């Protein structure tokens, strides 16, 4: 920034931007000389030793090394006639994120455990194109979410004004509806373009029994054999993602026997209702008011799902059969009560972000214990009318499998969600760590608030960055000088592990070189997320955004790694990346 004010004052001068080739950091040079034993070239055998001993890739083979060397030589020289790496070839390889990325690029988690053993990439109000009150409803954001690997899609079902068709929209708002059938067909066409693992459709149902029957017919005709329906009608235990490949699963509250058409609210979006307050329960899974002659206290939570069906509307029978994952919420029930574990059935519970925060502060181990047997879905509070999101780690550290997010915007919380689910090949399912699924000898589940001892230390060396000069115009950051980059680094996990650090500012350089080390002592490293953000310092205004990413600490690959950065909407930059080193002690 030293020359910024000068050239701002005398704008007629045209400063030439400094473009210099990045050079290997001293640590990279040292590793090259160590594994080549002082020679000027690295052989395939020496590269293999480097991969196994320095990068800790024990499964790396001679064939893998040959593939790496061929890729590098083709890219650098358009030839594979040379066999060995020079120092420059070696450095080039280390800075290629597709060849040397920070996480393993394919599915590698065990996918054979029951569904509730996994974090699931989940959307909230998946049909909305913008804000929660007046944006259009469309199948387009559903398609986009599926193409990005989202596995949980939420649809709000309402009757149209005539009461004879099913619309998808955010009820009691000015959002314009989209026909349910269009959403279902879009899900079928795009469900498995990114991942073969199951898509869970959570339904917020405000329908009459007759319209529920129409939904059942539409679902069966659209999905056919793709639709998963348990043979017994009730899941005693969730199947595994592996066994549910290419399946679509419906989840909602099964119809109540005493609900009639007179109890159902018909869609009316002519005027919005007042904004939801902080204490409001989610729209999801909310049911119409019960018959006043029925005492809602007669049935404990979940017991109403499978009572005698002698008074049931016949039209809803097939609809109920299609609901594979039975759902409930905390409406009109105490938090402690809804967190009771049921051992005779597998179910899903929905809590708002405020309800989760309260449960986590009062009953943390109860929440974790619940998720050891059932699925917990957490959704944004109704006051987030601009489609913002809450910090997802509060759900993850308590075992919540479905942290439901508004996917249409951007922000730090959504960046964390997107980064988390790039792990495990981007398949939308991440195996939860054993620490969340096991109980102590005394039968206690994990309490994330306890002062656990440090179990592992993550060392991160931020060497350098490059690629902005290719992905940005030369005047994007500063009109008269090269940018002044710095890197911010965060750990998000259990409260005791949360930490942050920042590099110094490198002035006037498109390829900043920091070479700074950060140490993060971790109590529960299995639940930690590493968030990285590059910013460009601006003395007179807000610092400019230069890229971001989030990485699951338990999936980090040790050694030198090329870390690609992403834009504000989560799209990967073509060239912008950092060279980092990860070490665990």
Residues with catalytic annotation? 124, 170
Beta bridge partners of 379: 352
d(CA 546, CA 507): 14
Dihedral sign, CA of 125, 351, 166, 162? negative
DSSP 198-248: PEEEEEEE---HHHHHHHHHHHHHHHGGGB---TTSS-SS---TTTTTT-E
- Count CB-CB contacts under 10 A for residue 354: 17
Q: How many angstroms separate the Cα of 234 from the Cα of each of 165, 323, 541? A: 28, 9, 58
**Token duo for residue 64:** 């893998």
DSSP 305-327: GSS--TTS-GGGHHHHHHEEEEE
d(CA 150, CA 142): 9
Q: How many angstroms separate the Cα of 128 from the Cα of each of 123, 178, 273, 285? A: 11, 10, 18, 18
**Residue matched to tokens 């917990």:** 376
Kind of pairing between the strands at 248-252 and 199-205: parallel
**Residue matched to tokens 């339904």:** 203
**Residue matched to tokens 């991969």:** 51
């Amino acid at each position: 920034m030293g020359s910024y004010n000068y050239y701002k004052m005398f704008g007629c001068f045209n400063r030439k931007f400094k473009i210099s080739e990045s050079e290997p950091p001293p640590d990279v040079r040292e590793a090259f000389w160590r594994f080549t034993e002082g020679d000027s070239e690295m052989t395939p055998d020496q590269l293999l030793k480097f991969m196994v001993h320095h990068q800790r890739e024990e499964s790396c083979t001679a064939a893998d090394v040959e593939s790496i060397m061929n890729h590098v030589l083709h890219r650098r020289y358009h030839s594979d006639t040379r066999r060995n790496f020079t120092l420059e070839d070696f450095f080039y390889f280390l800075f290629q994120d597709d060849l040397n990325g920070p996480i393993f690029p394919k599915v590698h988690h065990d996918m054979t455990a029951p569904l509730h053993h996994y974090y699931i990439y989940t959307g909230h109000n998946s049909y909305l194109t913008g804000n929660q009150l007046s944006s259009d409803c469309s199948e387009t954001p559903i398609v986009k979410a599926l193409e990005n690997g989202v596995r949980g899609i939420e649809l709000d079902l309402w009757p149209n004004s005539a009461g004879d068709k099913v619309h998808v929209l955010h009820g009691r708002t000015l959002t314009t509806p989209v026909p349910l059938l269009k959403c279902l067909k879009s899900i079928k066409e795009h469900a498995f373009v990114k991942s073969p693992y199951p898509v869970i459709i959570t339904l917020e149902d405000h329908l009459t029994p007759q319209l529920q029957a129409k939904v059942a017919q539409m679902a069966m005709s659209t999905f056919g054999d793709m639709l998963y329906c348990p043979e017994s009608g009730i899941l005693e235990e969730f199947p595994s993602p592996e066994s549910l490949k290419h399946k679509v699963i419906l989840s909602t509250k099964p119809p109540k026997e005493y609900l009639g058409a007179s109890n159902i609210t018909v869609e009316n979006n002519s005027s919005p209702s007042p904004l939801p307050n902080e204490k409001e329960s989610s729209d999801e899974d909310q049911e119409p008011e019960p018959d006043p002659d029925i005492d809602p206290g007669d049935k404990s939570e979940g017991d109403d799902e499978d009572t005698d069906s002698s008074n049931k509307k016949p039209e809803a029978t097939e609809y109920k059969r299609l609901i594979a994952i039975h759902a409930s919420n905390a409406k009109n029930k105490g938090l402690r009560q809804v967190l009771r574990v049921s051992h005779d059935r597998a179910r899903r519970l929905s809590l708002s972000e405020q309800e989760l925060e309260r449960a986590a502060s009062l009953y943390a181990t109860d929440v974790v214990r619940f998720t050891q047997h059932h699925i917990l879905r957490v959704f944004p509070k109704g006051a987030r009318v601009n489609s913002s999101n809450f910090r997802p780690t509060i759900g993850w550290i308590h075992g919540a499998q479905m942290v439901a997010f508004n996917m249409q915007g951007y922000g730090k919380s959504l960046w964390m969600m997107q980064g988390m689910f790039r792990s495990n090949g981007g398949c939308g399912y991440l195996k939860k760590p054993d620490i969340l699924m096991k109980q102590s000898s005394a039968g206690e589940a994990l309490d994330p608030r306890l002062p656990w001892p440090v179990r592992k230390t993550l060392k991160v060396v931020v060497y350098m960055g490059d690629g902005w000069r290719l992905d940005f115009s030369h005047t994007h950051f500063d009109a008269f000088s090269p940018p002044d980059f710095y890197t911010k680094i965060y750990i998000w996990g259990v409260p005791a592990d949360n930490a942050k650090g920042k590099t110094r500012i490198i002035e006037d350089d498109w390829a900043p070189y920091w070479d700074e080390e950060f140490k993060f002592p971790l109590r529960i490293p299995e639940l930690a997320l590493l968030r990285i953000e590059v910013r460009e310092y601006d003395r007179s205004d807000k610092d400019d955004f230069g890229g971001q990413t989030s990485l699951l600490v338990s999936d980090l690959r040790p050694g030198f790694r090329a870390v690609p950065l992403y834009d504000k909407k989560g799209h990967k930059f073509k060239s912008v990346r950092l060279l980092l080193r990860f070490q665990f002690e």
